Structures are given as structure tokens and as C-alpha cells.
Amino acid sequence: MPRAAVSCVFAAAARARGSGSLRSARRARASLASSSSSSSSSNEAPPVDPYLEQKKHRLSWMHWLHDIPKHRAWAASWQRDVQDRLRATETVRLGVDCFIAEDAHIFAEPGRDVVVGDRCKIASHVYVHGPVVLGNDVSINARCHFESGAGGVVVGDDARIGPGVHVYAFDHVFDDADVPVKDQGVRSVGVVVGADVWIGANACVDGVVVGDHAVVGAGAVVTRDVDAYAIVAGNPARKIGDRRTRAAERRAAAAGEEKRDRDRKEEEEEEEEARA
């Protein structure tokens, strides 16, 4: 409580005693207690959230929680600090409303910039070495690895990169069997991942173009370009479907299964009738 306020309260109490007013003295003492309590409360540090570190840990691995307003609110100052430190130490440009896990490993230098669009999310233990350009609304899940070589990596808007995906934009040269691989250098042609692409967990993409709207199955090893809307899987990856016809194919398969069930039921009914 400020010294002047204390003095005023004591003066009021003295006047009350001088006038013989017990009621005024009691009011003065109550005023002093109230002022002291109010001053003490205003000087106290804000309460510490005992779960804050765990909440950060959870959000770093489950970045989609950042889309929930209540999580985005408490994470705002933390994310501002994380992203400011990243901008200060690496040649990184970040769009608005991004989420970057504190333990993501992002490395960029002049000429090998990392450019991240709006509303992108980069989860825990992701490794990114520029040059890399991410469009808007791209999510990179935990433990992904982007090594961009000289050719760089470009990822289109709305792409989803599953956990553990490895993207390599360069290869070692090993054409001469008489020369150690380490002495033959590298070549880099870059990687382009189109818009609205989903790359499943633990896939490997090496020096290719993945067309818009394509889907790469989990664990696939992609060494050739992937057509737009194609669904690929396997090692090496091969085309197993097309997103544009997938819904019709699934409906046809379901209709076929229903017909088989009806035919089987009719056969069973006919056998029952025959036995009767």
C-alpha cells in the first residue's frame, strides 16, 4: 500500500479518536485493511499455469490443436517468441497464423531461404534445410525430413505431409564403380509437391514432381513423377488408382458386395425350402 494512503488512513483514525467516534475509528481500520489487501493483490505475479509446459509439448506433436481458438489464444505469446527467434537466427520468412514447434529444426541461409506461407504447421522433430517454399495451409507432421540440395523443395497449398516422410531433392553420384561414392559429388533436380497432395506416413520422395491432388500411400518410395489425381503406393511406388474415379469405384464395389450378399441369401433360402 502507498505510504500516502497509509498516512491518510491513520490520520482519519486519529480524528475519529479525537472526536470520540468509535464508529469512525472502526471504519478507518476497515479502510486500512481493505487498501492493504487491494495493494497486495495488485503487486502479486499472475498465476502460473502448472500444465503450461505439457500443453506446449502436446501442441508441438498434435499441431492441429492450434486450430482450436482456446489453444491458439494461450499459445499466441509463446509462438510469437518461437518465430521471432527463428527469424532472427535463420533466413526464414513466415506467414500469418503459423504454428512452429519449438523443437523443430529449421536451417536456412542466404540463397537457401525457407519461405513458409500463411497458416502452415510444422510439428516436433521436423528437419528442414532450405531452399524450401511452402504454400498456404501446409502441414508437416512430426519427424519429417526435408533435405533440399541445390534444386530445392516446393510444396503447394493445402498439402498434407504425414509423420516420418522423407523428401530428398538431391542424390549422390555413383556412376563410376572405381571411384568412391563420396568422391563423385551429388546432383540435385529438386522436388515439387503439388497442391492438395497427401503424402502418407514414412513415405520417401526423391527428386520427383508429385502432381496436384495426388495421394502417396504410407511407406511408398517415389522415384518417378506422379500424375495429378493419381493414387500411388509400394516400393517402388506405382499407380493403384485415381481420385476422380475412386468414389464411383467404391460405390460399384459396395453395390457388387450387396448383390453377392442377396444372391447368397436366396441360395440359402432355396436350400432350406428344398430340405423342407
Active-site annotation, residues: 172
- The Cα–Cα gap between 258 and 249 comes to 14
Whether 202 contacts 218, CB under 8 Å? yes
Those residues with Cβ within 8 angstroms of residue 243's Cβ, 6 or more apart along the chain or in another chain:
213, 214, 215, 229, 230, 231
Buried b (16+ CB within 10 A) or exposed e, 66-97: beeeebeeebeeebeebbeebeeebbbebbeb
Question: Degrees (nearest 5) of the Cα angle 56, 59, 63?
Answer: 150
Three-state secondary-structure class, residue 48: coil
